[in-house]
């Protein structure tokens, strides 16, 4: 726990000082939502909950790819990752610290994206947003776990930043469909039973990739 807390505290402190990742994530979420608004409804007509939920999850994917790659990119560029690998720090604790940092960055970006979604798609700030919160949290956790593991793999190859979304997005498609359906049902005021069936898929996805990342991270991070 001491090693986990030290790495996580370092990542959060660096982000608080520079703010580059969060600014990039929020700006990208804003850009994605603006593009989706004009692409899906250029005439400015009625915008339903399903469309808003789909746009929000597209923003989550783009934010997740950047957020997960940033938590490993800086340390790999300046050689700090090698020092962490050679240190007595357990590699499982390193994975949990990087996963937690990526999840926090994604959660903040998604909170901003939800506010923008409500404004752009003419929705109301009401209890339906609270019903959507666990759906977004589960989706952010699963994608953070998947992309953190893949970022450790693609960071070792040339053009890894371009390879990461090509690997992460297809693997995330089942959770993407479940998350978009559950978010649309929550925003549309559907009963909880209509949301629960999709939440089960998100929970299964999270359990699979969080544990897969924990078990495989020490092998894929390796010593360069």
Average of per-residue pLDDT across 43-65:
73
Average of per-residue pLDDT across 76-86:
69
Is pLDDT at 89 greater than 80 in this prediction?
Answer: no
Q: What is the pLDDT of residues 160-202, one digit of tens each?
A: 667 777 888 888 888 888 888 888 888 877 777 778 888 888 8
- End-to-end Cα spacing for the chain: 26
Is pLDDT at 50 greater than 60 in this prediction?
Answer: yes
CA 207 to chain centre: 15
Average of per-residue pLDDT across 44-68:
73
**Total-model pTM:** 0.80
CA 111 to chain centre: 12
Q: Identify the domain containing residue 124 by its residue range.
A: 2-221
CA distance 73 to 155: 7
- Residue 125 host element (H or E): none
CA distance 162 to 86: 28
Q: What is the pLDDT of residues 194-211, one digit of tens each?
A: 788 888 888 999 899 888
Q: For residue 68, what pLDDT is reported?
A: 66
CA distance 206 to 135: 12
Q: For residue 43, what pLDDT is reported?
A: 52
Q: For residue 222, what pLDDT is reported?
A: 62
Q: Tell me how many domains the chain contains.
A: 1
Q: For residue 21, what pLDDT is reported?
A: 66
Average of per-residue pLDDT across 73-99:
73
Q: Radius of gyration of the chain from Cα atoms?
A: 18
Task: Kindly give the residue spans of alpha helices, DSSP state H, lying in 121-191.
Answer: 127-154, 160-187
Percent of the chain's residues with pLDDT above 90: 1
Average of per-residue pLDDT across 111-128:
78
Q: For residue 4, what pLDDT band results from cuts at 50, 70 and 90?
A: confident
Instruction: Please tell me which residue, 118 or 209, carries the higher pLDDT value.
Output: 209
Is pLDDT at 46 greater than 60 in this prediction?
Answer: no
Average of per-residue pLDDT across 35-54:
68
Q: How long is the chain?
A: 224
Residue labelled with tokens 């720090």: 89
Q: For residue 188, what pLDDT is reported?
A: 78
| CB contact set of 27 (below 8 Å; sequence gap of 6+) | none
């Amino acid at each position: 726990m001491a090693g986990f807390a030290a790495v996580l505290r370092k990542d959060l402190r660096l982000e608080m000082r520079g703010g580059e990742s969060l600014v990039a994530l929020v700006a990208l979420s804003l850009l994605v939502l603006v593009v989706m608004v004009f692409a899906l409804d250029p005439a400015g007509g009625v915008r339903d909950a399903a469309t808003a939920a789909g746009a929000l999850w597209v923003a989550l994917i783009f934010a997740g790819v950047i957020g997960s790659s940033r938590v490993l990119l800086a340390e790999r560029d300046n050689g700090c990752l090698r020092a962490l690998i050679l240190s007595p720090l357990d590699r499982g604790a390193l994975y949990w610290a990087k996963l937690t940092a990526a999840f926090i960055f994604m959660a903040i970006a998604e909170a901003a994206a939800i506010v923008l979604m409500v404004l752009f798609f003419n929705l109301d700030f009401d209890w339906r947003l609270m019903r959507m919160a666990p759906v977004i949290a589960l989706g952010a956790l699963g994608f953070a776990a998947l992309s953190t593991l893949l970022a450790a793999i693609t960071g070792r190859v040339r053009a890894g930043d371009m390879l990461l979304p090509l690997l992460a997005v297809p693997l995330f498609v089942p959770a993407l469909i479940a998350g978009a359906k559950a978010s649309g049902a929550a925003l549309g005021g559907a009963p909880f039973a209509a949301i629960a069936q999709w939440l089960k898929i998100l929970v299964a996805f999270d359990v699979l990739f969080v544990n897969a990342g924990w078990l495989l991270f020490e092998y894929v991070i390796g010593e360069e």
